Amino acid sequence: MPKVILSIITVTYNAEKYVERTIKSVLRQTFKDLEYLIIDGNSSDRTLEIVEKHKKKIEKVISEKDEGVYDAMNKGLQLAKGKYVLFLNAGDELSKQTILEEIFNSKQDADVYYGETNILNKDRKVIGTRTELTSRKLPGQLIKKDFLNGQVVSHQSFIPRKELTIPYNLKYKCSADIDWMLQIVSRSTTIINVNQPIANYLQGGISDTQLGRCWKERFIILMKNFDPLSVILAHFRFFARFFVWGRYR
C-alpha cells in the first residue's frame, strides 16, 4: 500500500439515511494517498448493508458496541495510520471532489489545516457557511485564544497531524471535540487556514440537539484552559450573540 497521508474516519450508528452520501464523498476524492475507516456502533438498521456495497474501497470497517460517539472516534484514532486525521461522521460530506488534493498538494507541511464549513439543511442544500449563519466566526488565523468564542472550527473541517492528537475525553458527552482541538492547537506551531470550505455539515447533530448540556461542558473545558474572568466575560458575549443570531439565521 502506498504511503498514507490522511486517515478519514467515519463514525456511524443506525445511519442508513445518511451514510452512503458520506462514503461517496470520500471515495470520489481526486486525492488518493488516504485510507478510509468506518467505525460502527453495532447498528441494527441497514447501515452495514450499505457500507458492504463499498467495502472493497474502504480500508477498515468494524462494528461493535461502544460507549458513545467519542469512544468510537477513539477507536478510529487508534487504527489510523495516516500522517493526518479527519473525522467525517455519517451525514457529513467533503465540500468538493478536489478539496483534499488542493490542501495536500499545496506543499505546506502544517501541523493543522482548517477551513470553513458549509451548512446543509434537511434537504441537503447548502444554505450558507458556518460563519455566515452562526455567531461562531472562523478565525483568519486560528490560535488557542479563539476558542474563548466557542467551537469556532467544526471538527469536520479540522485536519491535525496525528502525532499531535490525544484520545477524546469520554467524560464529555457532546463537547469533547472542543477539548480535543484545544489540546492540539496548544501543541501546534504551523496552523494553516485553507480559505475555503472543507466539509458540509448536516444540521441536527449532538451540538444542535443537546445545546444546554454542550454549553455546560464547554464552560468546564474553557475554565480548565483559560483564566476564569476571561471565560466568564466570553460567555456573556456569547449569550448576547446567541440571542441576537439564534442557532442559525
pLDDT in tens, 180-205: 999 999 999 999 999 999 999 988 65
Q: Where are the domains of the chain?
A: 1-94, 106-249
Q: Do 1-94 and 106-249 come out as alike in CATH topology?
A: yes
Q: Please, what's the b/e burial string for 213-243 (b: 16 or more CB within 10 A of its CB; e: otherwise)? A: ebbebbeebbeebbeeeebeebbeebeebbe
Q: What is the CATH number of domain 106-249?
A: 3.90.550.10
What are the angstrom distances between the C-alpha of 174 and each of 101, 129, 158?
A: 31, 22, 17
The answer to pTM > 0.75 is yes
Question: Phi and psi for 36 in degrees, rounded to 5?
Answer: -120, 125
pLDDT digits (tens, 9 = 90+) for 150-178: 889 999 999 999 999 999 999 999 999 99
Q: Is 108 helix (H, G, I), strand (E, B) or coil?
A: coil
Q: How far apart are CA 86 and CA 99, in angstroms?
A: 13
Q: Does domain 1-94 bear CATH number 3.90.550.10?
A: yes
Q: Cell numbers 464523498 correspond to what residue?
A: 25
